[in-house]
Every structure is written in structure tokens, then in C-alpha cells.
Amino acid sequence: MFELESYLETKRDQINIFLDKILPDATNDSRLVKAMRYSLMAGGKRLRPILCLATAEGVGGQVEDVLEAACALEMIHTYSLIHDDLPAMDDDDLRRGKPTCHIAFDEATAILAGDALLTLAFQMLSAAEIKGDNQGSQWLTVIHRIAHAAGFRGMVEGQMSDIASEDKVLSLDELEKLHSLKTGALIEASIYSGAILGGGSSEQIQQLGVYAKNIGLAFQVKDDILNVEGDPKLLGKAIGTDKLRKKSTYPSIMGLEKSKLFATELVNKALLALESFDNRSGPLRAIANYIVQRKR
């Protein structure tokens, strides 16, 4: 029987060891590096890099084929969290149970730490191809896809739309579009990267795209639910902030119970997309269910 918690722990360890080598804990490091490491190594689910690794394995690839890409994705995610928490954005004091980067250091340092993590991610992505693994075109494709997902047509536009939508009541279609950019784009890029670098077929990549789109939205729906009824101690951040900021969320539009049903429907669609995959995709199936069952 597949044990998801053991799998997640093993993958987190692999990711954390790799990240630790990239930003070693040296007492002589600059304030900037300390701030980068503070946020990058603060814990977290590591969902995006784990999805990248699990997808590669699901199409017959190896973890070693995609570890750089997976860790680069976590750096990009961490940069986005640092910037999202800033006073000019969500003005949050806690992240992953610790003071946010601008609280632990200062606002300018937090901005620069985010910038540096984003840049380091693409430095690492481009360096992977230089190793001479004869996957140059695949790595270039992955870099392009991740850049698109993280940029002004993806995550950044999603954050801009999120800010602009405060004090407004969005339709469900508008809310889905916002979250497909803010949250879904990088999750989709994580799965796509694992599929490409793991050697997935065009048919597998197409089906994984359906899987990715559905779990990306399910993840955000669950986040909205947790912001209403989650445990702040488990989440590592305050709850009720969406209501305070007058943000449109799935619970505010659909109601809490219908939001839970919607998240389950999305996961079922994701699982359906994996029907033609063999047992190697077991982790992907388990992660889809975990997304709606998680407490943090």
C-alpha cells in the first residue's frame, strides 16, 4: 500500500538537501544571503518541486533528471511569497509559522532577497543544460514555460489581479481566471517540467496538463476554505484575512460546503486524466487527494 506521508517526507528531504547545498548556512554570508536562506529554508510543503519529481517518475524518468528544475521552482515560489507578504501587497507578519522576511529583516532586504531567489532559479535552470546531458532543447522548453508561468502572463499578473479585485465581487469565471494565473500557472509548470525532462510522451503530457489544471485550481479552492476554517497553528499564518481584505473567494461566492464539493469535483477530474497511467503515477494520484484533505 502506498504511503503518501513517507513519500512526501523522502522527497522533501531530497529537495532540502539540494537547496541547502545551493545556499549553505555560512556565518560569513551577507545579509542578503541570510534573508534568502531564511525564507527558502523555513519549511513549507514543497508541493511544486514534489509534483515535478513525482511527474518525472510517473512517466518513467528519474529524480536526478529533474532535481535542478524542481528546486528552481521552489525558489520562484519562495520569492513570490516574500513579495506577497510585503506591506505594499498583503502586509502579512507570519509565513510558515515564522515572522515574514520583511519583519525578520527589513522591507528593502526582503525585496532584494526575492529578486535574488528569482534570478538564482533561472541561473540554476540554465546551468543544468550546460552539464552536457544532451537535453538542451528540453531544458530550453522548460525554462520558457517556467518563465511564462512566473511572469506577467502568469503568476505576476495573477497577483496584480488579486490586488485589483479587493473590494470587488468577482464572478466565478473571473475568480477562476485569477487563480489559474496566481496559483495554477506555477503548479502547471511544475508538472509540465517533470513530464518533459522525465521523457513523457506527447499523450502523457497532454493528460498531465488536464491533471495539472484541475489540481492547481483545487489547491486554491482549498486554500480559500482553510482561510475560513483552518487552524492558524497548523497553517503557520493567520486565518480570516481574505474576509478582512474583502477578497472574492470560493467560500464567499459559493458558500463553504459547495466550495468543498467543488474542490472534490476538481480532484476527481484530475484523477480521471491519469486513468491511462500505470502504478508509477501512484504518488500523483495520492497528492491530488491530499490537496483537498490537507490541514495546512
Domain ranges in the chain? Answer: 4-293
Q: Which residue is associated with the grid cell 487552524?
A: 231
Contact between 248 and 176 (Cβ < 8 Å): no
pLDDT in tens, the chain (296 residues): 789 999 999 999 999 999 999 987 766 779 999 999 999 999 889 999 999 999 999 999 999 989 999 999 999 999 999 999 999 999 999 998 899 999 999 999 999 999 999 999 999 999 866 665 667 889 999 999 999 999 999 999 999 999 999 889 999 999 999 999 999 999 999 999 999 999 999 999 999 999 999 999 999 999 999 999 988 888 878 888 888 888 899 999 999 999 999 999 999 999 999 999 999 999 999 999 999 999 88
3-state helix/strand/coil string of 26-39: CCCCCHHHHHHHHH
Query: DSSP 3-state assignment of 241?
Result: helix
Buried b (16+ CB within 10 A) or exposed e, 275-285: eebeeebbbbb
Give me the CATH topology for the region 4-293.
Farnesyl Diphosphate Synthase (1.10.600)
Determine the pLDDT at residue 237: 80
Determine the pLDDT at residue 245: 83
pTM of the model: 0.94
Determine the pLDDT at residue 296: 84
Contact between 13 and 66 (Cβ < 8 Å): no
Determine the pLDDT at residue 24: 78
Determine the pLDDT at residue 130: 60
d(CA 157, CA 179): 10
